[in-house]
Amino acid sequence: MPTTPDAQLLTLLHTLPPLLLQNTLMACTDRDLAMAMLRFSSVERELLLGRLAPAKRDRVREELTLQRRVRISDGHYRASLDAVIRRLSSQRSGEPVRSYLRPCRTPRRARPPR
């Protein structure tokens, strides 16, 4: 039985380790988080907001207030919800995140003036 995207997001919120969940949510845009929570109940909304730092939480709440005043198409809602789910789902694997640090060049010695 397929689950709704809202239920999928709630499942991820309950199953991911708290630190990983917070770090991943903090990397999401305020607008995507707010739009993903539009159809949540107040309890579900507080579950997600409780995982955010206070400044981010305030920005997301402000964005929620703004979004309630405009008409948002199902396509836009679904795109934001999918973006948050995709970001959280990509963090599920136990593999460490790989990063590449570009080595810096050693400064060249200045040429003597001619």
Q: Which CATH class is domain 14-90?
A: mainly alpha
Tokens 């607008």 locate to 31
The pTM assigned to this predicted structure is 0.73
Distance from C-alpha of 92 to C-alpha of 71, rounded to nearest angstrom: 33
Span 57-87, pLDDT tens digits? 999 999 999 988 888 888 888 999 999 999 9
Distance from C-alpha of 31 to C-alpha of 37, rounded to nearest angstrom: 10
Give, as one character, the DSSP assignment of residue 40.
Answer: S
Residue (of 55, 77, 54, 57) closest to 67 by Cα position: 77
Span 1-44, pLDDT tens digits? 458 889 999 999 999 999 999 999 999 999 999 999 988 999 99
Write down the domain spans for the chain.
Answer: 14-90
